[in-house]
Amino acid sequence: MTTVDVAPHRRKSLRKTITDSRAIQLVILLIGVLVLWAIISATIDRPDRYLPSPLTTLFSSVDLLEKGVLISFYTDTLTRLVIGSAVGIALGIPFGLLLGLNRNIADMFYPLMNFFQSVSGIAIFPVIVIWFGNSNTTVMIVILYTSFFPIAFNVLSGVRSVPMRYISAARTLGASRFQIIKDVLLPGAMPSVAIGSRLSIGFAWRAVIAGEMLAGQAGLGNMIFAGQELDNTAQILLGMMLIGLTWIMLDHYLLRPLESDTIERWGLVQK
């Protein structure tokens, strides 16, 4: 069990060079998954119902593109995500600040916020449906609700984590209360704003998909839900791929860079 590989390192083989490269590993993985998918699809009964082949899935997009619905599904979902999370974040930041600045207010509202956060946007969906029906408003409220809490909690802890010595330093320089908030606490909380925003948008993304499915509003969520009702599994798979890929792109190329830039630039809080 405890033997070690005594292979010479200098004769680093071609095989090892290939398996060590991250890009090549990804390509191998992608091909492997597609081949496996195609093989399973070819061997099962009724693949159109249970697992259409990768090609069938790809071609189903042509049909949807021709009708023009794919693009509109996409823009519908993204619009909801942007507006819903923007409003949620815009409400969450001042609320978190208020709680972070005043201990009494924080102690007062923290348990309440904790409770409502755990209620989760999906669980309150039936209540919202009773109030507003199966409408776009319902979906928007669910998105707003889910994106509000992560940002509010993060801003709260961000303001709290600004080291006391910065506040004392500003005070010895004769800063007023307002100046301390503006020059010390707000910049100090910036990294938390970035982290919280990313979290909020992540939660909002799930809420959009769920909300569209449940309320039957046009979009990617509804696209996969309708796929199941219409017995069009290729459409479900296509929708899932789009949902997954969109989030990876959004997270990797927009939110994460934004987050790390902010932390780098404003990161006066040493952990």
Partner 1 sequence: MTAINEFSVAIQRRFGRQKIRKFVLGSIPFILLIVLWHMNSIFLVFEPVEIPPIADVWGAIFWLQSDCPGVFAAIEGHNGCQLTNHVSSSVGRVILAMVVGVPLGIGFGILAGMNRVISAYLEPIGVFMNSVSGIAWIPLAIVWFGVGWETTLFIMLNTIFWLLFFNTMMGVRAVPKVLVQGVQTMGGSKLDVILQVYLPGSMTSIITGLRMSMGFGWRALIAAEMIGGDSGLGFMIFVSAQEFKTEEVFLGVILISIIFLATDRWLLVPLEKWTIERWGLVWKPT
Partner 2 sequence: MTGDAKLIVQGLSHHYPDEYTGESVHALQDINLQIHDNEFVTIVGPSGCGKTTFLNIIAGLLPYREGRAMVDGVEIKGPGPDRGVVFQEHAILPWRTVNRNIGHGLELRKVPKAEREKRVQEYIDLVGLSGFEERYPHELSGGMKQRVAVARTLCADPVIMLMDEPFAAVDAQTRITLQDELNRVVMATRRTILFITHSVEEAAFLGDRCIVFSRRPGQIKTEIKIDIPREERLWKDMVNNPKFTDARDEILSLVRSEVTNDDNS
In what helix (H) or strand (E) does residue 182 lie, and over which residues does it extend? none
CA distance 191 to 104: 24
Piece of the chain touching partner 2 by CB under 8 A; list 8-16, 61-69, 124-132, 184-192: 8-16
Among partner 1, partner 2, none, what binds residue 33 when CB lies within 5 to 8 Å by partner kind?
partner 1
Cα–Cα distance list, 202 to 27, 47, 159, 244, 258 (Å): 27, 33, 22, 12, 14
In what helix (H) or strand (E) does residue 130 lie, and over which residues does it extend? helix 125-132
Piece of the chain touching partner 1 by CB under 8 A; list 54-62, 79-87, 90-98, 128-136: 128-136
CA distance 84 to 154: 18
Give CA 19 to chain center in angstroms: 31
In the complex, least distance from residue 241 CB atom to partner 1, rounded to whole angstroms: 8
Q: Which of residues 11-50 bind partner 2 (CB under 8 A)?
A: 12
Applying CB under 8 A, which of residues 240, 255, 263, 269 lies at the interface with partner 1?
240
Contact between 94 and partner 1 (CB under 8 A)? no
Q: What is the DSSP letter of 123?
A: T
User: Binders of partner 2: how many residues, by CB under 8 A?
Assistant: 10
CA distance 15 to 246: 33
Applying CB under 8 A, which of residues 213, 217, 238, 262 lies at the interface with partner 1?
213
Contact between 205 and partner 1 (CB under 8 A)? yes
| Dihedral sign from CA coordinates of 190, 192, 198, 200 | negative
Among partner 2, partner 1, none, what binds residue 119 when CB lies within 5 to 8 Å by partner kind?
partner 1
Residues 6+ apart with CB under 8 A from 175: 183, 184
Positions in the binding site for partner 1 (CB under 8 A) = 1-2, 19, 22, 25-26, 28-29, 32-33, 49-50, 104, 107-112, 114-115, 118-120, 122-127, 129-131, 205-206, 209-210, 213-214, 221, 224-225, 227-228, 233, 236-237, 239-240, 243-245, 247-248, 251
Note the residues at the interface with partner 2 (CB under 8 A).
2-10, 12
